[in-house]
Structure 1
Amino acid sequence: MSPQSRQRPLLALLIRLAAAATLSLMMALVKLASESGLALPEILFWRQLPTIPLILLFFWATGGLGKLRTTRMPQHGMRAMIGLAAMLLNFGSVTLLPLAEATTFNFTSAIWAVILSSLILHERIGIWRWSAVALGFAGVLVIAQPGDGHIPLVGAAVALGAAFMIAVISIYIRDLTQTEDSLTIVFYFSLLSVPPLLLALPFFWHEKNAEQWALLITLGVAGLLGQYLLTTALRYGTVASVIVMDYSALIWATLFGWWLFERLPPAATWFGAPLVIGAGLLIAWREHRLARPREQSTATL
Structure 2
Amino acid sequence: MKLLSEHYPAMQVTALRALSSLPLVCLYLLYRGAFKNVLKVRWPLHLLRGALGVAMITLFAFGLKRMSLAEAYSLFFIAPMLITALSVFILKERVDLARWCAIAVGMGGVLVVLRPDGGEFFSIAGLAVLGAASCYAVSAITGRILSRTDASESMVFWLMVMMAIGGVALSAHEWVDIRRADWLLLLGLSVSGFLGQLAITEAFRIGKASSVAPFEYSALAWGMGLDWLLWRTLPDQYTLVGAAIIIGSGIYLVRREAVHAESEHP
TM-score interval w.r.t. the shorter chain? 0.7 to 0.9
Matched, 1:71 2:33: no
> Which residue of structure 1 lines up, in the alignment, with residue 5 of structure 2?
34
Match of 1:192 in 2: 162
Instruction: Report the Cα distance in structure 1 between the residues aligned to 2:39 and 2:201, rounded to whole angstroms.
Output: 18
Q: Bigger CA drift: 110-119 or 90-99?
A: 110-119
For 1:62 and 1:133, the matched residues in 2 are separated by 38
Q: Which moved more, 1:270-279 or 1:165-174?
A: 165-174
Aligned to 2:246: 276
The whole-number CA distance in structure 2 between the counterparts of 1:284 and 1:61 is 33
CA RMSD of aligned residues (A): 2.5
8 Å CA contact 2:20–2:186 kept in 1: the answer is: no
Shift of 1:64: 4.5
TM-score w.r.t. the length of structure 2 is: 0.87
Q: Mark the CA change 1:240 to 1:158 in structure 2 (over 3 Å): closer, same or farther.
A: farther
Aligned CA distance change for structure 1 residues 126 and 177 (closer, same or farther; 3 Å): closer
Q: Which residue of 2 aligns with 1:287?
A: 257
Contact 1:173 1:231 (8 Å CA) reproduced: no
Is 1:129 matched with 2:99? yes
Q: Which residue of the partner structure matches residue 183 of structure 2? A: 213
Cα-to-partner distance string for 1:244-284 (whole Å, 9 max, x where unaligned): 12111111111111111111111222222111111101111
Of the structure 1 ranges 99-108 and 73-82, higher mean CA displacement relative to structure 2 is found in 73-82
The 5 A counterparts of 1:92-111 are: 92-111=62-81
Structure 1 residues 289 and 148 mapped into 2: Cα distance closer, same or farther (>3 Å)? same
State the identity as a percent: 32
Counterparts of 2:214 and 2:110, CA distance in 1: 18
2: CA distance between counterparts of 1:71 and 1:185?
A: 8
Structure 2 counterpart of 1:259, from 229, 232, 235 = 229
Task: Write out per-residue CA displacement over residues 203-244 of structure 1, whole angstroms, 9 at most, x where no aligned residue.
Answer: 122223221222223213322333343444454456555321
1:225 aligned partner, one-letter code: L
Q: Kindly indicate whether the alpha-carbon contact (under 8 Å) linking 1:46 and 1:217 is maintained by their aligned counterparts in 2.
A: no
Q: Deviations over 1:173-221 (max 9, x none)?
A: 3344455554432211111222222222321222232212222232133
Take 1:113 and 1:88, find their aligned partners in 2: how far apart are those partners?
20
SS of structure 2 residue aligned to 1:125 = coil
* SS across alignment from 1:49: helix
Q: How does 1:1-301 map to 2 (within 5 A)?
A: 30-35=1-6, 37-60=7-30, 63-147=33-117, 149=119, 153-177=123-147, 180-236=150-206, 242-296=212-266
- 1:40 Cα deviation after fit: 1.4
The alpha carbon displacement at 1:150 in A equals: 5.6
Structure-1 separation of matches of 2:110 and 2:248: 12
What's the offset of the Cα at 1:51? Answer: 2.8
Any conservation in 2 of the 1:143–1:269 contact (CA below 8 Å)? yes
Aligned equivalents of 2:13, 2:183: Cα separation in 1? 10
Question: Gaps (5+ residues) in structure 1?
Answer: 1-29, 297-301
TM-score relative to the length of structure 1: 0.78
Please give the alpha-carbon distance, in whole angstroms, between the structure 2 residues aligned to 1:67 and 1:119.
30
Q: 8 Å contact 1:146–1:153 — kept in the other structure?
A: no
Deviations for 1:25-49, whole angstroms, at most 9, x for unmatched residues? xxxxx111122x2111211111111
Going from structure 1 to structure 2, the CA distance change for 1:202 and 1:110 (only over 3 Å counts) comes to: closer
